[in-house]
Amino acid sequence: MSRSRHLGKIRKRLEDVKSQWVRPARADFSDNESARLATDALLDGGSEAYWRVLSQEGEVDFLSSVEAQYIQAQAREPPCPPDTLGGAEAGPKGLDSSSLQSGTYFPVASEGSEPALLHSWASAEKPYLKEKSSATVYFQTDKHNNIRDLVRRCITRTSQVLVILMDVFTDVEIFCDILEAANKRGVFVCVLLDQGGVKLFQEMCDKIQISDSHLKNISIRSVEGEVYCAKSGRKFAGQIREKFIISDWRFVLSGSYSFTWLCGHVHRNILSKFTGQAVELFDEEFRHLYASSKPVMGLKSPRLVAPVPPGAALANGRLSSSSGSASDRTSSNPFSGRSGGSHPPPKSKQNKTKTKKQRFGS
């Protein structure tokens, strides 16, 4: 009697849902080991190895052609051959490379300690904690609330700090809004771009002749998605598909909208505005992504609080002093919790602020 053919997790479920005689089973959200083995094979040996593992595991082709091409195109070699790592250095707690699960980092590829930014930023007073929680949704078809205009209005009304997480940024008009906010109003701007969109952003800057000299109060950085690592050590990184803007720590704009001409004029998008406690979640996500980001253009190590020369005073989050430099007069405190109309801190705290310099790492 021949042995029954092994069925992969997805193939078995497909056969069950196609049959009207099989009773519904409880949903299974556990990992698919056959899919993991096939993905590792694609990453290590290409399409032929992928199909061979699918056949051995009795699994269906679960990747689209675009996904398979992406994995192969983004594949990266390990920093050093895994077989050269021996004994206790082979992996966490002495494990060799073959015992590591996919989706984990090799020790040599793991990130270092968190930048000081995270600790200072997390302890700063946030205005959103005092705001009433609300959520508003906008659609592209709403002609009275054009999504592109809402984004541009958000930028032009920001007075202290603007943080942006974006996948693609090629809209020149929105970039002009950001340049004006940073260079004319002293707003600190930090933009995290998906690594895959950096080339297009730099292409835009080249076309309009923008260089680092025009980004004195702006930090442009790149960031990747999650990293999948095969047992062999080969890996690939995903993309950033999150998109949001935090304005003055008071509200968030988030949705499907990208900073492109097509999104502004023909693509249908959705945009949501959040205030109150929900802003904290976006704040934490941005800080988490910043910790793994890399500088692209503009400020490499922007200052948390600009140094205040003797006799200077803080006004509306900016430094004002007749003896200060031009950069001091236009710098802003990007992480200040005070709005322009807030009362200044007690004199003793002001003196302490004047003598204290804080920086965060790039």
Q: Given this model, what pLDDT does residue 124 score?
A: 59
Q: Check pLDDT > 50 for residue 130.
A: yes
Give the Cα separation of 293 and 223 in Å (integer): 5
pLDDT digit string (tens) for 159-170?
Answer: 999 999 999 999
Provide the percentage of residues in the chain whose pLDDT is more than 90: 55
Q: So where are the chain's domains?
A: 1-75, 116-227+237-301
pLDDT score for 80: 66
Distance in angstroms (rounded) separating the CA atoms of residues 75 and 225: 14
Closest alpha carbon to 297 in 213, 239, 207, 358: 213
pLDDT exceeds 90 at position 231: yes
Query: What is the number of other CB atoms lying within 10 angstroms of the CB of residue 70?
Result: 16
- The neighbour count for residue 31, using CB atoms within 10 Å, is 12
Q: How far apart are the C-alpha atoms of 223 and 233, rounded to whole Å?
A: 21
Whether the pLDDT of residue 149 is over 50: the answer is yes
Please give the angle made by the CA atoms of 173, 179 and 183, to the nearest 5 degrees: 150
Higher pLDDT, 158 or 16: 158
Hey, what long-range contacts does 339-343 have (CB within 8 A, 24 or more apart)? 339/127, 339/159, 339/160, 339/248, 339/250, 340/159, 340/160, 340/316
Rg for the chain, CA atoms, rounded: 25
Asked whether the predicted pLDDT for residue 96 surpasses 60, the reply is no
Band of the pLDDT at 312, cuts 50, 70, 90? very low
Question: What is the DSSP track for 334-351?
Answer: TT----TTSPPPPHHHHH
CA distance 229 to 236: 7
Q: Tell me the two tokens of residue 339.
A: 């709005």
**How far is residue 165 from each of residues 80, 168, 190, 192, 278, measured CA to CA in Å?**
32, 10, 9, 5, 16
pLDDT value of residue 116 = 45
Q: At what angle do helices 116-123 and 278-291 cross, to 10 degrees?
A: 160
Question: Model confidence over 42-86: pLDDT tens digits?
Answer: 999 999 999 999 999 999 999 999 999 999 999 999 876 555 444
Which fold is adopted by the domain 116-227+237-301?
Endonuclease; Chain A (3.30.870)
Rounded Cα–Cα distance for residues 1 and 239 (Å):
49
Q: Provide the b/e sequence for 285-309 (b: ≥16 CB within 10 Å).
A: ebbebbbebeebbbbeebebbbbbe
* Residues 6 or more apart in contact with residue 145 via CB below 8 angstroms: 138
